Structure 1
Amino acid sequence: MPHIRFGIWAPVHGNRAAAHDPLEPYDASWEHNRDTVLEAEALGYDATLVAQHTVNPHFAERDQLDSWTATAALAAVTSRIELISAIKPGLFHPVVLAKMALQIEEISGGRFGLNLVNAWNHAEFEKAGLPFPEHDARYAYGREWLSVVRRLIGGETVTHRGDHFTVDDYTLRPASRHRARPRIYLGGESEPARALAADLSDVWFINGQPLDSVEALIRDLKARPRAGAPLGFGLSAFVIARETEAEAKAEHRRLIELAEKDKPAKAIQASNTDPNVVMFQTMAQRSFVGTNGGTAAGLVGSYDQVAERIDAFSRVGVELFMLQFQPLRAEQRRFAEEIFPRFGRAANPSRPALKSEAL
């Protein structure tokens, strides 16, 4: 059976499917995030993704936990789970960000990964007086940014002259004591994103969508020239798993109905979204709940059906499933108890702390 890793989205801006759910009051607090990730680690999940927004992208009046300070704190209280923090290059100079990344790598004992995202919420930048270039220009900036960060977190002494950055004889210490460097994840499905993923990332995150679409995306990336180790693939997906398919579909309908109450917020989000972002173009063609494709990946059904669909995604190349649930804590427990055993692993396994693989 192909090796599969399971991760969860940390609730840094609360619920993923519907904001007005009586079964899950809105909570983006540090305490809720800490307890959720600690429980996920105890259950045997392999990773958590901590999304980055300076303000809540859905409800401006609601709380939003900061990604990088939260990830540093999580590094200090966890012992095994991989901590993946998202980063928008336009918000941090590459030298500053690389130093932060190496510090979290040190605190975590080699369990840190950074997830470069190109950004889609222009209001987040413009209201702060920050530039928000057009789509392809953001990727050109991100490519140069990542090329500097990648070398710095790898322990190199960097001198760089580019269109956006000048770096002179810069070395960051301590470099990773555990492996060559932290793992680099990259999200985005446009052509510039795919090219950047093939050239400079270790794992490419794909938004939730049907198996045939995911297979085509993976086939495209695998066909591209690449130096070094093969590219890995991750998939975002919202899971609704129950004893029977009918029960899962009933819960799906409940969340769809609740999500109707979020339409005013989604309209504001749409007005703040760069229309050239491929993720939103793709998602507009499908009905789903959750974010980043959510239930469009089809992980809605009986326990056996969900396991079979995960296995099918794995067989076309998906190695890491970054999962969303609602209510989060109850459903991540259910998934561990019911789905983990179908892949030969038990919830709450007794095993030594994960030593991050050498890159």
Structure 2
Amino acid sequence: MTTHPLRFGIWALVHGSRAAHQDPEEPYDASWERNRDLVLAAEQLGYDSTLVAQHTINPHQEDLDQLEAWSSAAALAALTSRIEIIAAIKPYLYHPVVLAKMALQIENVSRGRFAINLVNAWNRPELDRAGIGFPEHDARYAYGREWISVVSGLMRGERVTYKGAHFDVRDYALRPRDLYRQRPMIYVGGESEPARALVADHGDVWFINGQPLDDVAGLIADVAARPRSSAPLRFGLSAFVIARETDEQAQAAYERLLNLAAKDAPMKAIQKQNTDPQVVMMQTMQKTPRVGSNGGTAAGLVGSYDDVAARIRAFHAAGIELFMLQFQPFEAEMERFAREVIPRVRRLQSPPLASTFGELAEAPPGQR
């Protein structure tokens, strides 16, 4: 079992509904206003974290709205007071010097609550149509490895000189440095072998896509056993939750969303066509019927309040510290989960653990 406190987060609705786009209970809305209100409500309900995924164009259908991640993360940093804000980043879209400067600024605006989520891209048109190109899978990870090496050093306040195949950074330092801790947290997504090697070397937390407990335990065992020069790796899991008073009610709600999701078949066909077939996430998501993105309901958090709470505790016992959750309709189900499930999970904890996220490093001298 992980010794880190159990935390709950929410996916921001950067491209609308997570399960089905034609749901009368949740009309399509990826606006800044909705996302602002959603995260503020999550903070009030006691959620610990939010993940703002990064896309420049909508990955499902190009004429649909798409929230911009980094400007939104900066605004959320100023508006919130407690919740962790994680902004995803695709390395090809930002030079590491520029991105590290942005990350440090948002970290200081948030007073030490910011993190980046390194994702090495899967949506081909996003890069191809920009003239950047879309290298093959392992080449993207090689680029990402160089990129995060530069970003991590700069976020730590180091004076960085780096010469590699992709970057030539000379005697570069950023000020002000992080005023609250050593640097912002680094989350890494991806489950291929290059992704596992990358997170073992450079990540603080590995985001795993939703899948059954035994599969997640195997992934954790593999990466946790790899040598590291820093603190032990921590683990997060994406999951779509459908919790009700009874299993029968939860199953009925699941079937409703599954039927609605079937109407998105043309959109999903476009997404599949635009996706690199080597991306392990997409291979995993084809294994079982599910709703939601990034594995969705494959994690098994569908059932009665008590059963869902018990399954969450089982994942925590296997090493999962942070659950990044999806719901639909999002606002109502997010509130239901906070009211009905989180208290049950806390009661199952022995001894109970407080929720916190700021454990990367001590604050710099003078800020302790």
- State TM-score, norm by structure 2: 0.94
- Partner Cα separation in structure 2 for residue 143 and residue 194 of structure 1: 11
Alpha carbons 1:7, 1:320 under 8 Å: kept: yes
Per the TM alignment, residue 285 of structure 1 is displaced from its structure 2 partner at its CA by 1.4
2:264 match: secondary structure: helix
Alpha carbons 1:185, 1:204 under 8 Å: kept: yes
Query: 1:17 — aligned with what?
Result: 19
1:1-359 pair list within 5 angstroms: 3-344=5-346, 356-359=358-361
Per the TM alignment, residue 260 of structure 1 is displaced from its structure 2 partner at its CA by 0.8
Alpha carbons 1:81, 1:354 under 8 Å: kept: no
Per the TM alignment, residue 13 of structure 1 is displaced from its structure 2 partner at its CA by 0.6
- Partner Cα separation in structure 1 for residue 61 and residue 257 of structure 2: 18
Per the TM alignment, residue 355 of structure 1 is displaced from its structure 2 partner at its CA by 7.5
Structure 1, residues 230-251: CA drift from partner, whole Å, max 9, x if none?
A: 0000000000000000000000
2:298 match: secondary structure: helix
Alpha carbons 1:178, 1:356 under 8 Å: kept: no
Per the TM alignment, residue 128 of structure 1 is displaced from its structure 2 partner at its CA by 1.2
Structure 2 residues not aligned, in runs of 5+: 348-353, 362-368
Structure 1 residues not aligned, in runs of 5+: 346-351
Alpha carbons 1:82, 1:111 under 8 Å: kept: yes
Alpha carbons 2:185, 2:360 under 8 Å: kept: no
2:320 match: secondary structure: coil
Per the TM alignment, residue 357 of structure 1 is displaced from its structure 2 partner at its CA by 2.5
- Partner Cα separation in structure 1 for residue 358 and residue 197 of structure 2: 26
- Partner Cα separation in structure 2 for residue 308 and residue 335 of structure 1: 14
Residue type matched to 1:145 in 2? Answer: W
Per the TM alignment, residue 301 of structure 1 is displaced from its structure 2 partner at its CA by 0.1
Residue type matched to 1:74 in 2? Answer: L
1:27 match: secondary structure: coil
Residue type matched to 2:108 in 1? Answer: E
Over aligned residues, Cα RMSD in angstroms? 1.4
Report % sequence identity: 67
Q: How many residues align?
A: 353
Q: 1:355 to 1:227 in 2, by over 3 A?
A: closer
